[in-house]
Amino acid sequence: MAGDVRLGGFDRSFWYILTLNVLFASMFFPFRSTFAIVYFQDAKNLTLTQASLVNSWVFFTAIFATPVFGWIADRFGRRAVLLTLGASLMPLTFLTLGATHWSLWISTAMMGLAFSVVPAVIWPATAMLVAPRRLGSAYGLINVLQSAGLAVCNLAAGWLNDVNHADATHPQGYTPMLWMFGLLATLDAASTTALWVRESGPREHGLNDSIAAP
């Protein structure tokens, strides 16, 4: 009926994409908006100016790349594939940061691509998984849980840094924070893989179809 807002009525694909939404925001924004600059200074020996520049390129990349990936999704479909590829870049990003001495531009490029692909595809894809009469409830639920995830992960990352005495004299103290974000990123990639598998079967919602005119 028109007023039906039961949460149990959502399809499993919706819950997969909700998980992707919540986990992606809960690791990306706390790290890049709260902790990345000080981490780059303390653990990677960058100046404040250098750290700010590296961090800003993630968002600068998205200005140009996000519309491109949105067009690709409309023109060629394969939205579940694109989401899986974008989400899979995140655990690789945190692995690169924590386990290698590679240039920060490599992790910045991976995170920039992930931040371009996922938002460009996830919101229109969500609308394809939910009946129009329930779309407001779906987006509302996503935003509530996303905000809760942002709050919890910011507090958790800060607490981990505090208890492990993370600073310029003890950069190893940032490792537990990276592990936490890396674990969330891995769960995020698993959720998108599950979405891809479901949307490739008989209960698909056209997520992988093209909707743009040739």
Q: How does pLDDT run across 110-122, given as a tens digit for each residue?
A: 999 999 999 999 9
Tell me the pLDDT tens digit for each residue of 155-207: 999 999 999 999 999 999 999 999 999 999 999 999 999 999 998 888 888 88
pLDDT class for 208, splitting at 50, 70, 90?
confident
pLDDT at 214 over 80: no
What's the CA gap between 77 and 126, in Å, rounded?
Answer: 14
Q: Give all domains of the chain, ordered by start, each with its CATH number.
A: 21-198 (1.20.1250.20)
C-alpha torsion 144→147→153→159, nearest 10:
-110
What pLDDT sits at residue 203? Answer: 80
What's the CA gap between 118 and 202, in Å, rounded?
Answer: 24
What pLDDT sits at residue 149? Answer: 96
Minimal CA–CA distance to 21: which of 119, 88, 90?
119
**Selected residue with higher pLDDT from 137 and 5:** 137
User: pTM (2 decimals)?
Assistant: 0.89
Tell me the pLDDT tens digit for each residue of 41-90: 999 999 999 999 999 999 998 999 999 999 999 889 899 999 999 999 99
- Our separate counts of H helices and E strands in the chain read 7, 0
Amino acid making up residue 121? V
pLDDT at 2 over 80: no
The secondary structure of residue 209, as a DSSP letter, is: S
- Residue whose structure tokens are 């394969």: 78
pLDDT class for 213, splitting at 50, 70, 90?
very low
What pLDDT sits at residue 1? Answer: 40
What's the CA gap between 204 and 16, in Å, rounded?
Answer: 13
Burial of 120 (0-12, 13-18, 19+ CB in 10 A): buried
What pLDDT sits at residue 3? Answer: 46
